[in-house]
Chains A and B, each alone.
Chain A
Amino acid sequence: MEKKQIFLFFIGLLAFVQVFGQRDGVIVLDEVILSDAKLLHFSKGTKVRVVNDSVQQKSGTSLTDLLRYNSNVYFKENGYGMVSSASFRGTNAQQTAVVWNGININSQLTGQTDFNTLIPGNYGDVVVRSGGGSVQYGSGAVGGTILLNDSFRFNDSWKNSLQTSYGSFNTSKLAFNTSLGTEKTSFHIGINHIASDNDYKYLGTDSRNENGAYDQLNLNANVGFILSDQQILKLYHNTFNGDRNFSGTLTAPADENYTDLNHRSLIELSSFNERKIARLKVGHLYERYRYFPNKQRDEFSFGQANTLLANYDYKYQWNKITLNGIVDISSIWAKGASIENAQRNFVSGTFLFSHELSDKLNYGVNLRQEVVSDYQSPFLFSLNGSYKVAKNYTINMNASKNHRVPTFNDLYWSGAGASGNLEVLPETSWQLELGQTLEVKNLALSLNAYSITTDNLIQWRPNAQGIWMAMNVQDVSQYGLELGFDWKRKWGSQELVWESEYAYTKSIDNATKNQLLYVPEHMLRSNVAYQYKKLVAFYQFLYNGSVYTTTDNSDSLPSYTVGNIGLDYHWPDISKIKFILGLKVNNLFNKNYQNVAYRPMPNRNFQLQLITKF
């Protein structure tokens, strides 16, 4: 309760300082148009990497494909296109948050996001924010956060883009985007359909990925209205409908099928002037899965959750100080084949403070307290700072306490041989990170070192009666190094872009000192793109180190390297219509590899793509 008072005090402070300050109206408008401004002001000192849309065109369709080759997030995929879980800095899938327009969308049932059920193509940029961020983004922002933000373009012409693609395993993709921006309104719709037989060969065997077909439909729609020079109304919507068979393994066939349905809707009303921005968000999230153990039969199990949320965000700028208070209220209902109606009510208060002490030094203090109906939530904080030592050399620092809360499955599951546990505590995590960046002309280098300690890791284990239960069983630590290298050169009609990241990751069970399951110690990725006039050639490379598949480190999967190559040709415009013809070869060297044991990944495959812009 003491913390509540602190929070109220800060809110009071915010109202008080409102009298001071001055700022440019246009800058404010630009900021209000952003769907997640927390990133702009309150992530200084943390490592943030933006994956822009030209990179997206070169990568596959799913968020897994995009991030696997463009970030140092490590993915485990149960066969290509199947359930895909992220591991950020040696943490697990539940310790990686996915945030849609400022709202955390990790599943309320499983606590994680299946990265093969998100299609990034309709969002402007995809942002990868490494390190702890629970104060800003809530549960699961432990290893890092992936941000998907819709963009609103006012004063823009009518733009259309049609992307069609066909390739190996009968994989077809269709994406259509249309946007229109006038002075007062902005409008965008994006639709994607992806279908594949996905029956790739298991290299070195006579079998194929028999039961891996998928079919996905995704829709993004958003509308913005500038109501007055002090008010903007924005509406966001996303629907994803996925239908997948679940691949078997090298030793067992499968007949399973799995469908996902997600609806996400958000209304945001912002009122602003030179100094303050007040945003009111009201949103609804719906998730539902159906699992058919045998796709020939009608029986299925399911789970679904509805989240109703309201969020009031008040930001105030006072000279070099930015203050932000946020109140979140949400109610979540979940039910399923193994969950009777369960409900959770949630209130949180967040206070964010950022200060530009000088042109060189910036620091921030961020605090958050949640009050939740069915578990005790810890007080969270983060401190961050960045210091510009020289014109092109910056040092960053951040320290934070983060959490991952028990999911509805963890608390309320009730099924044959397994049971939720109301006693489960949230995982709490402490971390410290030091970073430095050096930018000289065409070159950017970054080096980040971090350390994470997590207590009360939630895992499912059999209890004394042999019933599987969620328990706080483990304390773990991660530490590692990340090295980034970006190089760009332009001469005449040629351009060369080369960017690489190397990650060294130790992820350790504090009791046994063993490396945790499926965390590669070494990972290296590198992308090179070369443009000559209307021709773009690119190469994507990934080295994924060996990973352990047993907790006693007695068994492991070998390391692998995968290379993809692509060629895009920008056709001369035909009556103002742009054509880009592309060919991509994935797994160029036909490498036989697995990122989950006994679940092979695809052999060499081809994808032909035509993008039309008008």
Chain B
Amino acid sequence: MKSRNVFLSLLTIGLSWSCSNDDEQDQEPLGDYANGILVSNEGPFSNGTGTVTFISEDLSVVNNGIYKMKNDEDLGNVVQSIGFTEDEAFIVANVSNKINVVNRYTFEKIASITDGLNNPRYFIEANGKGYVTNWGDTADETDDFVAIINLQDYAVEGTISVALGPEAILAKDNTVYVAHQGAWGQNNKVSVINTATNEVIKTLAVGDAPNSMQLDASGNLWVLASGKPAYTEDETAGVLSKINTVTNEVDNNIQFETTQHPSGLNLDGGVLYYHLGDTVFEQSLSSTTLGMEAVLEDVSFYSMVINNGRLYGTDAGDYASNGTLTVYDLNTKMAIEAITVGIIPGGIYFN
């Protein structure tokens, strides 16, 4: 209730401010949430709803639960991620098998996609369509797919059958790359999809459990795999793979130690970053071996994003209370601000 009041008062302040502003400027703002950060909060796992938090660019305004505020309904159970088109945000609720489509700046709801999804994970736009990775039934290792979404009527218009556990998804021109982390198990593939034919044209082998991907300015795709964890009793090392997107061949595999399981690959200012244990490391794009240069130490993040020299890292706490987002300046290595967000903050995006 308290946060609602704070929100309402902020809204009032915002309104009066924008009113007085309108008199002076003719440029219409795109919406209340146009300039800032969006954090997707998974919400409680077994019952409840995920939420989205808006944080203004200068970190001074924080609005929690903006979807519910605008639309008076819940997003759904376990908000896994948000994908974007130019004007829209696709908010993926995994357990609810639902994607809510909103205007990314006003957060007003446009549509809900419920048919044709089964355990949806991540959304990307490519070649005028939406592509969503789906685990399918977790007991079935052969029913995993990528759903194709028509961006005019927001319906699933087709599916592409893929290998087990499609997770992160990335587009380069008309090609879509899918990392197969392996759902509840492990996999070690990257699928290459041609969006003109909507077919898997190639499946590449990378390290075990690929969790994140980045595309550099030279057109290389970097895939970070965490390796199999110890409890599988077949522990394997993390691997950072460099894929040439012209030939779609793996150029180089950089190996970690068997007990090292990195995650959270980021690319900012021509440098790669990742998270390993309680440290954030950087890695040069030109290096063919591991640099292991520590950028930030004694930190632990549920998820992290690096943007313009700043690191945004979330902490899910005890997973049953509101989490926090901490913003670090990577030059000074100091925390600038810690912001209370929603329950289990898993995704960080820039609007």
Residues of A at the B interface (CB closer than 8 Å) are 78, 249-253, 293-294, 297, 299, 414, 416-417, 419, 461-462, 464-465, 467, 517, 549-552, 554, 596-599
Instruction: Pick from B139, B261, B318, B321: contact of A293, CB below 8 A.
Output: B139
Instruction: Pick from A467, A551, A596: contact of B229, CB below 8 A.
Output: A467
Interface of chain B, main secondary structure: loop
Instruction: Pick from B48, B93, B229, B319: contact of A597, CB below 8 A.
Output: B48
Instruction: Pick from A414, A462, A467: contact of B319, CB below 8 A.
Output: A462
| Residue pair B320, A465 in contact (C-beta under 8 Å) | no
Query: For chains A and B in complex, what number of residue pairs have CB atoms within 8 angstroms?
Result: 78
Residues of B within 8 A of A549 (CB): 44, 48
A414 to B230, CA, bound (A): 11
- The B294-318 residues at the A interface (CB cut-off 8 A) are 300, 317-318
Closest to B278 in A: A464
Residues of A within 8 A of B230 (CB): 465
Residues of B within 8 A of A551 (CB): 317-318, 320-321
Most buried by A among B44, B47, B322: B47
Residues of A within 8 A of B318 (CB): 461, 551
| Residue pair A251, B77 in contact (C-beta under 8 Å) | yes
A550 to B95, CA, bound (A): 20
| Residue pair B319, A461 in contact (C-beta under 8 Å) | yes
Known: A293-B139, A299-B139, A550-B343. A251 touches B320 (CB 8 A): no
Closest to B137 in A: A294
Residues of A within 8 A of B278 (CB): 464
| Residue pair A414, B76 in contact (C-beta under 8 Å) | no
Residues of B within 8 A of A461 (CB): 318-319
| Shortest distance between the CB of A601 and any CB in chain B (Å) | 13
A250 to B47, CA, bound (A): 8
Residues of A within 8 A of B75 (CB): 251
| Residue pair A251, B321 in contact (C-beta under 8 Å) | no
10 nearest A-B residue pairs (beta carbon): A552-B321, A252-B77, A299-B139, A551-B321, A598-B47, A251-B77, A252-B96, A252-B95, A249-B47, A550-B321
Closest to B320 in A: A551
Name 7 extra pairs, CB < 8 A, besides A251-B74, A414-B231: A78-B47, A251-B93, A465-B261, A551-B317, A551-B320, A598-B47, A598-B48
A-contact bits for B119-151, CB 8 A (1 contact / 0 none)? 000000000000000000111100000000000
| Shortest distance between the CB of B229 and any CB in chain A (Å) | 7
A550 to B48, CA, bound (A): 11
| Shortest distance between the CB of B100 and any CB in chain A (Å) | 11
A-contact bits for B223-239, CB 8 A (1 contact / 0 none)? 00000011100000000
A599 to B261, CA, bound (A): 38
A78 to B95, CA, bound (A): 16
| Residue pair B49, A251 in contact (C-beta under 8 Å) | yes
Residues of B within 8 A of A517 (CB): 320
Instruction: Pick from B48, B317, B319: contact of A251, CB below 8 A.
Output: B48
| Shortest distance between the CB of B280 and any CB in chain A (Å) | 15
| Residue pair A293, B231 in contact (C-beta under 8 Å) | no
| Residue pair B76, A251 in contact (C-beta under 8 Å) | yes
Residues of A within 8 A of B137 (CB): 293-294, 297
Residues of B within 8 A of A78 (CB): 47
Closest to B231 in A: A419
B181 at the interface (CB under 8 A from A): no
A-contact bits for B274-297, CB 8 A (1 contact / 0 none)? 000110000000000000000000
| Shortest distance between the CB of B184 and any CB in chain A (Å) | 5
B158 at the interface (CB under 8 A from A): no
A297 to B231, CA, bound (A): 27
Residues of A within 8 A of B21 (CB): none
Most buried by B among A78, A294, A414, A551: A551
| Residue pair A249, B77 in contact (C-beta under 8 Å) | yes
| Residue pair B231, A251 in contact (C-beta under 8 Å) | no
Closest to A255 in B: B137
Residues of B within 8 A of A293 (CB): 137-139
| Shortest distance between the CB of A212 and any CB in chain B (Å) | 14
| Residue pair A251, B229 in contact (C-beta under 8 Å) | no
Most buried by A among B3, B75, B137, B300: B137
Residues of A within 8 A of B47 (CB): 78, 249, 251-252, 596-599
- Can you name 25 A-B pairs with beta carbons within 8 Å? A249-B77, A251-B47, A251-B75, A251-B77, A251-B95, A251-B96, A252-B77, A252-B95, A293-B139, A294-B137, A294-B139, A297-B137, A416-B185, A419-B231, A464-B300, A465-B230, A517-B320, A549-B44, A550-B320, A551-B318, A551-B321, A552-B322, A554-B3, A554-B322, A597-B47
